[in-house]
Amino acid sequence: MDKSKNILKQLISGDMVFEEFIGMELQLAESVQKSCYSKPILHEDTPLSILCMNLYQAIKAENPKHASSFKISSIQQSPLCQYWFNRAQDALQNCS
């Protein structure tokens, strides 16, 4: 869970460029695999690892050409990203 929390905090801060962001995919995949999650993804008790992956995929979808200079903080206007950012922030507040 600590690994998922750290990744989620990095995603929410948005202080990284896309190249750094893309390197997180393996970490996220490992985290999701370890969670052994069987509930629906939109369940209110979504594990942090699933929230991380959903936020990651939403951010990735906003930069389909994978421009390396793309700032993660610039996509917070996207409705899908905004939804997952809000869910992630709520989850971090609740598990603190």
Structure-model confidence comparison of residues 29 and 44, the more confident one: 29
How far apart are the C-alpha atoms of 15 and 33, rounded to whole Å?
A: 26
Cα dihedral angle (83, 56, 29, 21), rounded to 10 degrees? -160
Statement: the pTM of the whole predicted model exceeds 0.75: no
Which residues constitute the domain of residue 72? 2-94
Q: What is the pLDDT of residue 32?
A: 66
How many domains does the chain fold into?
1
Tens of pLDDT, residue by residue over 30-83, are 766 665 555 444 445 567 777 778 888 888 888 777 767 777 777 767 888 888
Per-residue burial over 77-94, b if 16 or more Cβ lie within 10 Å, else e, is: eeeebeebbebbeebbee
